[in-house]
Amino acid sequence: MRATDRRTVRTVAAIETAVRAALREVALDELTVAEVCRRAGVGRPSFYTHFASVPAVVAQMLTAEIDDELPVNDLDAVDAEGIEPAITMNFAAALQLIVRDRDLYRAAYASTSSGVLRRVLEKAIETRVRNIILIWRERGLVDEVDMEVAVPFAAGGIATALESWAFDDSTDAAGRARAIRDQMPRWWPFPE
């Protein structure tokens, strides 16, 4: 969840903008906190108040953008048959973000600290998958699903598919979203 305090919002935005601009010139593995602070016009204490490292900034930026495109709470108003198509449309929107910022995603995934992005992204997707399964259960669309296995399995697959998409040159986000959906486990309610 992002902060709402104006000063915090400005500081975080300045740091994110500085990182985004710097990554056009410098590899993520070479980008230092000192350089980010210089570009953002903030001190190191301000940086460390909000982030543990430069890779953590990139992970938050990218994960927050994707997470914003994968809403679950808006599914409450969708009828049972519309849930899965809505989720697939959300996947397509997230994939389109990756198309828009492919260079940034590629830089993050190609760095030695790419594990930070993977972990943060998988955790965000796990939350979404868990909530989706619960909604499907409430609506009677799925039987019992072993959440301890299914959630990390699906989240790991989706996160890996997003990474693969980052290195692909395709721009058919809707087609890739359907392809990801078609590879989901048998408990996933597929469209008829």
Q: CB of 177 within 8 A of CB of 92?
A: yes
The model's pLDDT over 93-105, given as tens digits with 9 standing for 90+, comes to 989 999 998 988 8
Same domain, 24 and 109: no
Same domain, 88 and 133: yes
Please check whether residue 90 lies inside any domain of the structure.
Answer: yes
The model's pLDDT over 21-52, given as tens digits with 9 standing for 90+, comes to 999 899 999 999 999 999 999 999 999 999 99
Same domain, 89 and 176: yes
Q: How confident is the model at residue 60 (pLDDT cuts 50, 70, 90)?
A: confident
Phi and psi based region of residue 41 (left: phi greater than 0; alpha: psi -120 to 50; beta: remaining): left
Can you give the pTM of this predicted structure? 0.82
Range of the domain at 78: 59-182
